[in-house]
């Protein structure tokens, strides 16, 4: 009898230990850390774009107490150095060595075109927060890739439509002489019904635009359309201000006047126009909270790059709340597809190519105080629009 009791207790203890072990494994699985790889340009002259994107994402993580969707979140931030080859090595390391569950980020198209295929081939969930090249939105779309930004052509198309709505008949375009800039001008023409009086393509890196402004003055167009990113754009705005054309010829642009360059150009960028799907004055609760808390935390005003990073983290957070974790990737992809969050831009849903359907605005550089300049949305140009490449996407 004693021997039987002894065996009974040993078996019972074994069952209890096994059950406890199973429970501990289950709890450990449920409490799995969320690993996010964030790839951004964080060195060189373009670092400010990556810093805004990173800070926007990290603000949303902080708002969830460091636990997106209730999972302790480890964000591994990596500098792509605006070098496609280096970027591929970094994402490979993030996936193979660090085991990230989600990759987010990428500021520039040449990096996105390099890293997109390796990431989606690995079946790693990838959320783009700025760059949206045409191939990725079209024929190379992939179920593992989503964007919280826009397709690259859409801001240029917005300005083309605005120019047509204003009744401009003659427009001079100016953009650097490289392929992506020529694509930007083509996108502008897609919705512009008037005539391109002249296309000006100064060499990449040029900083003296006296000859270009002389040509514009001779042509006397209804408007100028400029795609001039970064430092070239800053110099273009400064020289437009002193050219005698400001106040006479409307200055329309994309990726030229924005929250990054406006603090530099200040009053010289005041009153000039651009296009965007986001602005700090969009009137919805999510955006008001974002702008207020971003400015308070980082001591500078947010840009569209910060807004896109912030929305990506919010998207992940609420999708994980629906699924309860990352173990079932198919469920997570379905939850993300539903876009179960309130975007800072208001209207937001995913198209068939998993790029947003959203509004686009005419935005203007305005002076808020003696030292604060920001972009203000002053007119909606497109309402709930998708991009031109979604029809080519076959998932």
* 148 vs 388: CA distance, rounded Å: 17
Over range 242-250, report the average pLDDT.
96
Which residues lie across from 39 on neighbouring strands?
A: 78, 105
* 346 vs 359: CA distance, rounded Å: 9
- 329 neighbors 126 (Cβ within 8 angstroms): no
* Percent of the chain at pLDDT exceeding 70: 92
Over range 92-113, report the average pLDDT.
97
Count other Cβ atoms within 10 Å, centred on residue 201: 16
pLDDT tops 70 at residue 244? yes
* 149 vs 276: CA distance, rounded Å: 10
Judged by average pLDDT, the poorest of 79-83, 316-320, 324-328, 373-377 is: 324-328
pLDDT tops 50 at residue 6? no
In this predicted structure, what is the pLDDT of residue 32? 80
- 84 neighbors 113 (Cβ within 8 angstroms): yes
In this predicted structure, what is the pLDDT of residue 301? 93
Over range 259-283, report the average pLDDT.
95
Return the higher-pLDDT residue of 324 and 304.
304
pTM (2 d.p.):
0.90
- 159 neighbors 275 (Cβ within 8 angstroms): yes
């Amino acid at each position: 009898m004693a021997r039987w009791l002894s065996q009974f207790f040993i078996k019972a203890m074994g069952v209890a230990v096994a059950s406890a072990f199973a429970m501990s494994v289950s709890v450990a699985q449920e409490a799995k850390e969320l690993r996010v790889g964030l790839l951004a340009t964080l060195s060189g002259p373009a670092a400010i774009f990556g810093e805004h994107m990173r800070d926007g994402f990290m603000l949303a993580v902080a708002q969830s107490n460091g636990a997106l969707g209730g999972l302790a979140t480890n964000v591994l931030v990596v500098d792509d150095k605006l070098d496609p080859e280096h970027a591929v090595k970094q994402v490979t390391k993030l996936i193979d060595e660090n085991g990230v569950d989600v990759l987010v980020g990428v500021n520039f198209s040449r990096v996105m075109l390099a890293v997109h295929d390796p990431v989606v081939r690995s079946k790693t969930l990838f959320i783009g927060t700025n760059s949206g090249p045409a191939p990725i939105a079209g024929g190379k779309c992939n179920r593992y890739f989503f964007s919280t930004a826009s397709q690259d052509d859409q801001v240029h198309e917005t300005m083309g439509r605005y120019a047509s709505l204003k009744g401009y008949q003659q427009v001079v375009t100016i953009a650097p002489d490289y392929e992506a800039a020529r694509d930007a001008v083509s996108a502008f023409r897609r919705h512009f019904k008037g005539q391109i009086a002249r296309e000006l393509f100064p060499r990449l890196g040029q900083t003296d635009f006296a000859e270009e402004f002389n040509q514009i003055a001779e042509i006397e167009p209804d408007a100028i359309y400029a795609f001039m990113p970064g430092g070239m754009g800053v110099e273009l705005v400064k020289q437009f201000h002193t050219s005698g054309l400001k106040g006479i010829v409307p200055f329309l642009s994309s990726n030229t006047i924005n929250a990054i360059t406006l603090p530099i150009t200040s009053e010289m960028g005041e009153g000039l126009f651009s296009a965007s799907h986001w602005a700090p004055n969009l009137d919805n609760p999510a955006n008001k909270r974002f702008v207020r808390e971003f400015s308070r935390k980082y001591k500078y005003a947010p840009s569209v790059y910060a807004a896109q990073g912030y929305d990506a983290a919010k998207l992940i957070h609420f999708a994980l709340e629906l699924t309860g974790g990352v173990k079932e990737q198919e469920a997570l992809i379905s939850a993300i597809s539903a876009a179960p969050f309130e975007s800072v831009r208001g209207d937001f849903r995913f198209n068939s190519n998993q790029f947003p359907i959203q509004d686009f605005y005419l935005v203007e550089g305005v002076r808020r105080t003696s030292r604060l300049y920001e972009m203000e949305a002053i007119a909606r140009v497109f309402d709930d629009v998708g991009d031109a490449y979604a029809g080519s996407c076959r998932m």
